[in-house]
Structure 1
Amino acid sequence: MDIRHTIERLSATESIRDLLYHYSHLIDRGELAEVAELFADARYGQCDSDGVPVGVLIDRDPAGVLRANESFIRMYGDPPTPRTKHLTTNVRVTVADSNIEASSLAYVTVLQGTDELPLQPILTGRYFDRFALVDRQWRFTERLCCIDHVGNLSEHARRTLA
């Protein structure tokens, strides 16, 4: 590989990591409409432990992503936030040789603390993500979440996880 190709690959990796972290910041600030826009070009839903989709996926429908999040996440305060911290770790990014497509696998740990719930982990899982470079910007094309462990979701979830 030449140096330019390597630099493009490194730039892609860092841009994708930044996009992953941007999601965490938005969701923890309760900016659910902005979260939904991140997935405007993506399939979005749950998967099994191998990253195979399970259930119905939301397909390139930011309004559907917004409805799904609003119907699941409890909000607190003004401005409303879920009182969570999404910790995205162990991020592995794989950029295709073309440098215009990529995938990643990352761990997620969600912490929450409310007036009724002491600060604690409430969920761990993995994100199986795919990306494409669109107009010189990396975009999600798929986000699948595998939930590995569930703690006390009583202060977070409006409904039971499927």
Structure 2
Amino acid sequence: MTEEERHAIEHECARLISLYANLNDAARWQDVAQLYTPTGRMARPTAPDDWITGRAAILEAFLSRPSRTTRHVCSNVVIDVTDARHATGESTMLLFTGPDKPPLVGYFLDRFERTDEGWRFAERRGGLTF
């Protein structure tokens, strides 16, 4: 793999992290679910050991949440390319949920796969730092 190919993968995976935050904040749940592989799984930062598996289940989990206004700020994104079809990533997340609640600081640990649809989350595990 060339350095240019590695940088392109890093860029695409980092973009996926930002896109996820933007779509989540816009309550575009169908689009969020499509960012996962068909068998992808996620664990929310508030429940890091409670896995939700598959696009349909992920979509249902988002649809079943009470409506709220959020703003996710993601930073410290580091992507490690395993090979041309796989990568891992780590990022820091700051979540604002309104003026009456303190912001939450957490992280995501991600596994990415290149699919026919492009790069997708194979696994997205969140956690809270404080």
TM-score range, shorter chain: 0.7 to 0.9
**Structure 1 unpaired stretches of 5+:** 76-81, 150-162
Residues 121 and 12 (structure 1), Cα distance of their counterparts in 2 relative to 1, 3 Å cut = farther
User: For 2:2, what is the secondary structure of its paired residue?
Assistant: helix
2: distance between equivalents of 1:121 and 1:21?
22
Tell me, yes or no, if structure 1 residue 5 matches structure 2 residue 2: yes
Per-residue CA deviations over 1:35-71 (Å, capped at 9, x if unaligned) read 11212431211479xxxx623x222x22211221222
1: distance between equivalents of 2:102 and 2:118?
33
Q: Could you state the TM-score of these two structures normalised by the residue count of structure 2?
A: 0.86
Percent of pairs identical after alignment? 28
Moved over 4 A (4+): none
Q: 2:76 is matched with which residue?
A: 90
Tell me, yes or no, if structure 1 residue 100 matches structure 2 residue 85: yes
Tell me, yes or no, if structure 1 residue 29 matches structure 2 residue 10: no
Residues 127 and 103 (structure 1), Cα distance of their counterparts in 2 relative to 1, 3 Å cut = same
Which has the larger Rg? 1
Q: CA deviation at 1:119?
A: 6.8
User: For 2:84, what is the secondary structure of its paired residue?
Assistant: coil
Q: 2:96 aligns with which of 101, 107, 111?
A: 111
Checking the alignment, whether the CA contact within 8 Å between 1:101 and 1:133 is kept in structure 2 is yes
Q: 1:154 is matched with which residue?
A: none
Q: 1:58 aligns with which of 52, 61, 69?
A: 52
**Structure 2 unpaired stretches of 5+:** none
2: distance between equivalents of 1:15 and 1:119?
35
User: For 1:54, what is the secondary structure of its paired residue?
Assistant: coil
